[in-house]
Structure 1
Amino acid sequence: MLIKLFTLYVYLQTAFCGCASDMRNGDFVRMRKDYKVKVQRIGRLDSRIMESSGLAHATDSTYWTHPDSNLPAALYLFNLKGALLQTVPLPLPNRDWEDLAQDQEGNLYIGDFGNNANARRDLRVFKLSSETMALQDTMHFGFADQTEFPPLDSNDRHYDLEAFFHRSDSLYLFTKSRARQGITRRYTLPAQNGRYTLLPQEEIRVKSAITAADGAPNGREFALLGYGRLYLFQPEQERVSFAGKRYCLPLGRTGQAEALLYLSATQLLITNEKGKLYLVSFEPRN
């Protein structure tokens, strides 16, 4: 029953909801106001690539993705036609892998931090070598502002996590709220081996639960993905922050979209758990 209700929720979010509710309080402006935007479905992943939940670059024309929880611990290499080029099994636990990040050297970071029930105490990120895919580091962490597992009040369940990206020497994490009044909180995790307790850096109201994130090639902008929405942030300074101009773009019927990747400064690749591939292109109007 819960699965059916969640499926219905995702359908309603993607099929009928635009960005009006995100814009109502002045938190976001409509992206099409300043950009020419095109959202197109470009293909479907090979059926052996199960529940794509994260994206990263392999080469200029091939990409890594991984499955969600309760599926094999592996990375899948594919191209924009959706063809499966390689499967790389990994000797790592997959309790709930939710996103991929990548540093300037090409090393990969797997976010094993899905936390639907807000009850996990073993959140972690695995760092893999870009050359050998061997495990280099593990970052274990918890939230300093979470004291109940899960919080007794469902409106305090802001500690699910499905989105992050790498910039400089840090990983930037964005939570997925399970409360009625949706927010996302940003946390910063050092990208090196250790155990950390993370303080919230800032938060912002969002109508859609956040399922993926990526930083732009210019080292300034970043994007967050939700069900049926894309949020684009242009910080006032060269730092990861919600302060600055913020855009919202309705994505239509993209389903349970879970992964996001900048292909260029003006193009984003999106996958959903059914294996559909979408390309979002945007060019400034002036």
Structure 2
Amino acid sequence: MLIKLFTLYVYLQTAVCGCVSDRRNSDFERLRKDYKVKVQRIGHLDTRIKESSGLARASDSTYWTHPDSGLPAELYLFDLSGELLQTVPLPLPNRDWEDLAQDNQGNLYIGDFGNNANTRHDLRVFKVGQEARNVQDTIRFRFADQSEFPPATQQRHYDLEAFFYRSDSLYLFSKSRARKRITRRYSLPATSGNYTLQPQEELRVQSAITAADGAPDGKAFALLGYGRLYLFEPEQQAVTFSGKRYCLPLGRTGQAEGVLYLSDTQLLISNEKGRLYLVSFVSKK
């Protein structure tokens, strides 16, 4: 019942408000202004795949996802119809797995950094090898700007559900639990160690950020929120909020928590109820 009410809330909020607040507060532009856009539901994950919370590519036609907190530490291989092709158990704890990233060699990075209450001291990323999905490294970190666990309600910006890999680094985007939402960008070396992360940028956003991915062109990147997709086109090949940024209302996608570029102009989105969506956009120029 709560999930249905949440889905209805997201739909009504995006239907009524769209991206007005994001355009007013943070200079987002409407994606449909410069692109022809299509959002379509394309499938449903097998019911054995519970609470899809991250996406990564396995091949040209198959993909990885994983469950959220409180569920088995497993990776699921599936295709775009949602068929479960393989289940891979991992000898890892799943305190709160929230997103998947992937490097150029096919290694996966599992973000065990969900932090709903802003109280965790054990934030970490697990690196899982391409062959036999062997566990290779654990990357541990803390936020340099967090001194209270938890902080005051309006300073609860330390939940984390979104990251992606680029050029030997992991780029992380926080999920705010405060009424006035922001996302902060951090970067983390993609090698084992224990790191203290300074915030590098912040941006006010209307929707809580639940997933991220970088485009194959090595420049653009996407942040997913409840009912909204944010696309960034930096002027230089650097992960930054500067440059052109777009907002796209997603409507009925519900509690969407996985996003993956299939090409520079197509993204796959999954939600916790197992629905799969395809977002396609083509320049009007």
1:237 maps to a residue whose letter is Q
User: Are the aligned partners of 1:27 and 1:205 in contact in 2 as well (CA < 8 Å)?
Assistant: no
Uncovered stretches (5+) of structure 1, i.e. residues with no partner: none
SS at match of 1:219: coil
Q: Distance in 1 between matches of 2:215 and 2:53?
A: 19
Q: How does 1:136-151 map to 2 (within 5 A)?
A: 136-151=136-151
Q: Distance in 2 between matches of 1:156 and 1:91?
A: 35
Q: Distance in 1 between matches of 2:165 and 2:107?
A: 10
Q: C-alpha root-mean-square deviation of aligned residues, in Å? A: 1.6
Q: Distance in 1 between matches of 2:25 and 2:168?
A: 34
Q: How does 1:4-83 map to 2 (within 5 A)?
A: 9-83=9-83
1:98–1:26 distance in 2 versus 1, CA, 3 Å: closer
SS at match of 2:223: strand
* TM-score relative to the length of structure 2: 0.97
User: Are the aligned partners of 2:156 and 2:176 in contact in 1 as well (CA < 8 Å)?
Assistant: yes
Uncovered stretches (5+) of structure 2, i.e. residues with no partner: none
Q: Distance in 2 between matches of 1:251 and 1:43?
A: 16
Q: Distance in 1 between matches of 2:10 and 2:91?
A: 33
Give how far 1:171 is off.
0.1
Q: Distance in 2 between matches of 1:254 and 1:58?
A: 24
Q: Aligned residue pairs: how many?
A: 285
2:114 maps to a residue whose letter is G
Which portions of structure 1, spanning 4 or more consecutive aligned residues, are displaced by more than 6 angstroms? Answer: 1-5
**2:134 equivalent to 1:134:** yes
**2:119 equivalent to 1:119:** yes
Q: Distance in 2 between matches of 1:135 and 1:260?
A: 23
Q: Distance in 1 between matches of 2:94 and 2:215?
A: 27
User: Are the aligned partners of 1:17 and 1:228 in contact in 2 as well (CA < 8 Å)?
Assistant: no
User: Are the aligned partners of 1:14 and 1:255 in contact in 2 as well (CA < 8 Å)?
Assistant: no
Q: Distance in 2 between matches of 1:33 and 1:188?
A: 31
User: Are the aligned partners of 1:40 and 1:278 in contact in 2 as well (CA < 8 Å)?
Assistant: yes
Q: How does 1:233-244 map to 2 (within 5 A)?
A: 233-244=232-243
User: Are the aligned partners of 1:14 and 1:254 in contact in 2 as well (CA < 8 Å)?
Assistant: no
Q: Deviations over 1:121-150 (max 9, x none)?
A: 000000010112111111000000000000
Q: Distance in 2 between matches of 1:8 and 1:115?
A: 25
Q: Deviations over 1:225-282 (max 9, x none)?
A: 0000000000111000000000000001100000000001110000000000000000
User: Are the aligned partners of 1:16 and 1:252 in contact in 2 as well (CA < 8 Å)?
Assistant: no
**2:229 equivalent to 1:224:** no
SS at match of 1:105: coil
**2:106 equivalent to 1:106:** yes
* TM-score relative to the length of structure 1: 0.96
1:235 maps to a residue whose letter is P
Which stretch shifts more, 14-23 or 92-101? 14-23
